[in-house]
Structure 1
Amino acid sequence: MKKGILALIGCSLLMIYLFVRSHREITITLGMFTGSNWDVYNAESYKVIDDAIEKFEKEHPNVTIEYKSGILKQDYSAWLASNIASGDQPDVFMVLAEDFNKLSSLGALMPLDDLIKANNISTDIFYESALSSGSYQNTQYALPYEINPTMMFVNRDLLEKEGIAIPEGNWTIEEFYQICAQVTKDTDNDGTIDQYGSYGFKWQDAVNGYGISLFDDEGASSNLNQSDVREALSYVQKLKDLNKGYQVSSEDFDKGNVAFYPLTFAQYRTYQPYPYRVSKYSTFKWSCLAMPGTTANQKTSQIATSLIAVNSKTTQRQLAFEFLETLTIDQEIQQELFENSQGASALKSVMASASTKALLDQDAMSNYSLKQDVLDDIIENAVIEPKFKKYNNIIERCDYLITNALNENRIDDALVDIEKEIDNQLK
């Protein structure tokens, strides 16, 4: 009898403990910065996050999501590094692209592969280029929250005036140069060129267009002093030489005097005539295309990705991952993100939705045109950046050295020394 009473008391206490444990308040902290990840105006920077938090908290009544507001993007890396050093990093946090490789290699991010598998998530729902941005050494450490592909803006009015057909989606580097050469001219016969082929086409765009990998897979050595790299950089020099020393500016494009200008999707959306946005290029009609390449269906366009990761030391592993799911995988939240920000969703289903099509189709009724299938193709065929620890610092140094060599018209002589310097830094 006595043993039975003790057993009953023990069971009751266990049930009370389990009940209290299941209903205790749990706080998940979120690290984020204010404003747009793409350095363009965003009046709704907190709206989607707040709605995602509200949805998650309704589904998890005993969980509260907290974040510190007001952290600027330019201060975020230092803020996050300081919190990691002190052991106070958030459970879930945004990761800037330039910080991802380093944070992954240092063990600050939780590997997600087991959680993805345990929660029956198919990674096929994401664009491969976006998903790979959160992968380091074949391990998934972050999921894509938002993406921003680079596209080629085309001044339709200028090409039509010159009797040139708008290029098709699978256009080539050679077509790009031929059109640029054809439209570059002195239109008023005053002895000065006043119409130009392109502005802002960088050496990296040419390298992507030629399908060149600048580094080996491990990031142990570079492939800079190679014939295909020389050809790509000579191509950039040829484009520049068309202007006979004149430095084409964004103002020239704004005035309708430039045929082509590589810009990001976020810049495209920022300058649309939607509420809270400015119609900057309203003096001419323009379209968007994939960046040109040497072959059809080549991966040519750069894509920037906003990533979210889970703290490797979180005490709420499953809940933190579930909140990460809400931010990055929930169809409703991701659709809202697309409609209230400047970037695109990394979810194929959102980019193929009727709501997305309707939003893009608004442009077709104005001076602007970006079709849903064109945008999908650009993202699907985006260039995947190398993933090694020193990549961001190395590519920044490459940009400095190569840009200077191009500006001084000495790229042929400079490549040998540039490769030596970069290889030394990779050791």
Structure 2
Amino acid sequence: MRMTKTKKLLLALIGCSLLLIGLFIGRAQREITLTLGMFTGSNWDVYNAESYKVIDDAIAKFEKAHPNVTIEYKSGILKQDYSAWLASDIADGEQPDVFMVLSEDFNRLSSLGALLPLDDLIGENEISTDIFYESALSSGSYQSTQYALPYEINPTMMCVNRDLLEREGIAVPEGNWTIEQFYQICAQVTKDTNGDGTIDQYGSYGFEWQDAVNGYGIRLFDDEGATSNLNRSDVREALSYIQKLKDLNGGYQVSSEDFDKGNVAFCPLTFAQYRTYQPYPYRVSKYSTFKWSCLAMPGTTDNQKTSQIATSLIAINSKTTQRQLAFEFLETLTIDQEIQQELFENSQGASALKSVMASDSTKALLDQDALNNYSLKQDVLDAIMENAVIEPKFKKYNNVIERCDYLITNALNENKIDDQLVDIEREIDNQLK
């Protein structure tokens, strides 16, 4: 039977309609856009000329695997302006789908419901959280819910002037050294070396009261952040320890310049500072006058979780319309081995992935440092991050610990900590209410 003109026209119209529908759907798929919130530069306040490189490479990798998705971000936002920029976007309902979260903002944003809970997505995508260092993962957890994943971490280590200890006939501490050993060495090396009657060699610079509290394994607040534990015997012991360290210097305020000149045995240093101050493959050589290495922060025989760790976090907007795609991009940034290895090699922090920090590429990079009078062994760095201090997670923590630091530091400087600690605890408890 010959097809009538009407039928031919009808079939043609149907065909055109299907084609248009297909083109429309294809175009709609190509037009999916995810927005990323980030700031320029380093999260660790050290120079970083490659702040966009890893992000751009992660975007390119994700877009290649998802041809219908485009990632957009606004460049040029400085870290000091980022919190205000993000808060403004959240208030206007225009926050990005995926965004970096500063540590000082995390508890507040989590409590306000601005961040998407990730536990279900982690389970649905069969992600094992064991791939992360525990302290880094915990940084993105609030009230037992995971709201962010760690992008980069920055542990604090103890930098040791090896030349100074060798001159004094003192072996460089190894392994799980104690806070008692630290004080004994500081006392032994603090002296007048040229006989002019003035102390010119010192035990430590920059070891503060929170380092002592961590060394003693003290928890300053209860889990809920309802009360503080400041006026306790173990806290008083830790603060007395800091006063004893200060007293070794006879009233002199040891400075970073003293350490730079090689006149100080110990100085806490973040991993980002360690990498920034090296000649290869980074930018400058600050401590080039002496050989130095890094250890875990000192603790006690009962406590070796001593090193503070700062974490750069990435979260998902709780109101995103692209829940799964946003999580897959979050995976690319934080879990992808290739991207995280590139991050380690092009920034100053460390990866939160155990596999990256245990890789041959990471070992080669750290071993290169040893050829330039700097020494941080791969297993030492791994142990530092495995045994890092986990910060409390309650809404007022950042404000409260900042106030604690101000009050306690002033009391120590005035040598009045014994008299003022009761009042300090009372003020902090009132702030927690």
Q: 1:400 aligns with which of 403, 406, 428?
A: 406
Q: Is the 8 A contact 2:98 2:326 kept in 1?
A: yes
1:344 maps onto 2:350 in alignment: yes
Q: Which residue of 1 aligns with 2:257?
A: 251
1:391 maps onto 2:408 in alignment: no
Q: Is the 8 A contact 2:215 2:303 kept in 1?
A: no
- Amino acid across the alignment from 1:176: F
Unaligned runs of 5+ in 1: none
Q: Which residue of 2 aligns with 1:52?
A: 58
Q: 1:41 aligns with which of 27, 37, 47?
A: 47
Q: Which residue of 2 aligns with 1:409?
A: 415
After superposition, the C-alpha distances for 1:124-174 in whole angstroms (9 at most, x for unaligned) are 000000000000000000000000000000000000000000001200000
Q: CA deviation at 1:15?
A: 7.9
Paired residue secondary structure (2:96): coil
Q: Which residue of 2 aligns with 1:302?
A: 308
Q: CA deviation at 1:25?
A: 1.3
Q: Which moved more, 1:291-300 or 1:195-204?
A: 291-300
1:88-167 alignment runs, 5 A limit: 88-167=94-173
Q: CA deviation at 1:364?
A: 1.2
1:234 maps onto 2:207 in alignment: no
- Amino acid across the alignment from 2:227: S
Q: With structure 2 as the length reference, what TM-score do the two structures score?
A: 0.95
Paired residue secondary structure (1:100): helix
Q: CA deviation at 1:28?
A: 0.4
After superposition, the C-alpha distances for 1:280-308 in whole angstroms (9 at most, x for unaligned) are 10000000000000126610000000000
Q: CA deviation at 1:222?
A: 0.3
Runs of 4+ in 1 over 4 A off after TM superposition: 9-15
Paired residue secondary structure (2:268): strand
CA distance in 2, matches of 1:36, 1:423: 34
- Amino acid across the alignment from 1:395: I
Q: CA deviation at 1:275?
A: 4.3
Q: 1:320 aligns with which of 298, 319, 326?
A: 326
Q: 1:225 aligns with which of 213, 216, 231?
A: 231
CA distance in 1, matches of 2:302, 2:397: 28
Paired residue secondary structure (2:127): coil
- Amino acid across the alignment from 2:300: T
Paired residue secondary structure (1:144): strand
Q: Taking every aligned residue pair, what percent have the same amino acid on both sides?
A: 89
- Amino acid across the alignment from 1:271: Y
Q: Which residue of 1 aligns with 2:6?
A: none
- Amino acid across the alignment from 2:425: E
CA distance in 1, matches of 2:271, 2:102: 18
- Amino acid across the alignment from 1:370: L
CA distance in 2, matches of 1:297, 1:215: 18
CA distance in 1, matches of 2:28, 2:175: 55
Q: CA deviation at 1:423?
A: 0.4
Paired residue secondary structure (1:208): helix
Q: Which residue of 1 aligns with 2:269?
A: 263
Q: CA deviation at 1:24?
A: 3.3
1:213 maps onto 2:219 in alignment: yes
Q: CA deviation at 1:179?
A: 0.1
Q: Is the 8 A contact 2:216 2:303 kept in 1?
A: no
Q: CA deviation at 1:19?
A: 4.8
- Amino acid across the alignment from 1:20: G
Unaligned runs of 5+ in 2: 1-9
Q: Which residue of 2 aligns with 1:199?
A: 205
CA distance in 2, matches of 1:130, 1:119: 20
CA distance in 2, matches of 1:367, 1:281: 10
CA distance in 2, matches of 1:368, 1:304: 22
Q: CA deviation at 1:18?
A: 9.2
Q: With structure 1 as the length reference, what TM-score do the two structures score?
A: 0.96
Q: CA deviation at 1:21?
A: 7.1
Q: CA deviation at 1:365?
A: 1.1
1:426 maps onto 2:432 in alignment: yes
Bigger Cα Rg: 2
Q: Is the 8 A contact 2:217 2:303 kept in 1?
A: no
Paired residue secondary structure (1:205): helix
CA distance in 2, matches of 1:382, 1:113: 23
Q: CA deviation at 1:366?
A: 1.5
Q: Which residue of 2 aligns with 1:353?
A: 359
CA distance in 2, matches of 1:327, 1:259: 39
Q: Is the 8 A contact 2:275 2:282 kept in 1?
A: no
1:368 maps onto 2:374 in alignment: yes
Task: Give the aligned CA root-mean-square deviation in angstroms.
Answer: 1.8
- Amino acid across the alignment from 1:401: L
Paired residue secondary structure (1:66): strand
CA distance in 2, matches of 1:249, 1:13: 74
- Amino acid across the alignment from 1:303: I
